[in-house]
Amino acid sequence: MTRAENISKRLPHFYRQWDRESQISLLTSAAGQCMDESEKELISILHAHWVDKASRYDLEKLGALFRIQRTEGEADLDYRNRIKTAILRYQGGGTVSAIQASVRIALRLPQDHPVEIKENPEVLWKKNYTVRSGTKWQEDARSINDSTLDITLSVDTENAKITDPTFKNITTGDSITFQGDVSYGEVLEICGDKATLNGEDQSSRLSISGSLRLPRGVSQWQYTEFVGGNQGAFDLTLFDKSVFVVDITSSITLEWAASQPATFELRLPKETLTKAGVKAKEVQEILDSVKASGVKAELKLV
């Protein structure tokens, strides 16, 4: 209902406001029209201060508040989304809800559209070492939790074999020993309380003290083996000794899945980016701008 109609309803019937040719009708119509136009102008002023409603130059003025300039040829919708993302960053970026809201805005998704964020995603680590009996080293799990450790061992020295290889966590005192021989060309794999030698199950030959896991943080490790008298060769230059110890080197590989600290992973379907016409690089830039300082943000397309 217009302002003129509202005014007419309040006038007595004998004023003939219902007659469009009467003076009172023309007067109320003119006054009502002025009031309607004034209301429209007021609403347009209010809209100019709202990011969702502002357009063209008004939108650029709002963008200037956050030092965000319109790029050449950029449409109002894309420019508006960049401004809204900046507002979220100023109003407490780094929270899960702020990150999800920024992604929805950038990809033009509904407010209730699910956006999957996985905190502390797992990453696979693999370390290779060349060791001798007694070798010590330091290992950093790079994880917020203890990790299951997979160990692979092979002998590098030709025509040699090792006996009772042992892996010990000096920090915790836990250890695991494979009771028996591993010869050159053979591969020993240990995963938890399971062991295989050249693919054949040899779990019954494992001797475990404690729980062999890679603890979070830094830990000290040592590799040892039993070197018997059969590991030698006859030396004609020495009459009082018949054998000498062979220097045996072996290769070990340690593998584990680490839950990354201070890291989150945003998982998005590839078609979502394609429909929105947004590149993965642009989404990554949004994550880097909204995330909290010191936190690593990763984008995974599924």
pLDDT confidence of residue 199:
93
Q: What distance in Å separates the CA atoms of residue 198 and residue 182, rounded to the nearest whole number?
A: 10
Domain ranges of the chain: 3-48, 122-259
pLDDT tens string 190-210: 998 899 999 999 999 999 998
Q: Between β-strands 296-301 and 263-268, what pairing exists: parallel, antiparallel or unpaired?
A: parallel
* Average pLDDT of adjacent 10-residue blocks, the chain of 302 residues: 71 68 76 71 52 69 69 76 66 70 81 88 95 94 92 93 94 94 95 93 93 89 76 52 68 95 91 88 82 84 90
Cβ-based neighbours of 242, under 8 Å, separated by 6 or more: 232, 234, 235
pLDDT confidence of residue 90:
55
Cβ-based neighbours of 91, under 8 Å, separated by 6 or more: 98
pLDDT confidence of residue 285:
82
Tokens representing 53 are 């409603």
User: 């964020």: which residue's tokens?
Assistant: 117
Q: What distance in Å separates the CA atoms of residue 64 and residue 58, rounded to the nearest whole number?
A: 10
Mean of per-residue pLDDT scores for the chain: 81
Is the CATH code 2.60.120.860 the one for domain 122-259?
yes
pLDDT confidence of residue 19:
66
Q: What distance in Å separates the CA atoms of residue 239 and residue 291, rounded to the nearest whole number?
A: 74
Distance set, CA 99 to CA 131, 270, 293 (Å):
46, 18, 13
pLDDT confidence of residue 20:
72
User: pTM here?
Assistant: 0.63
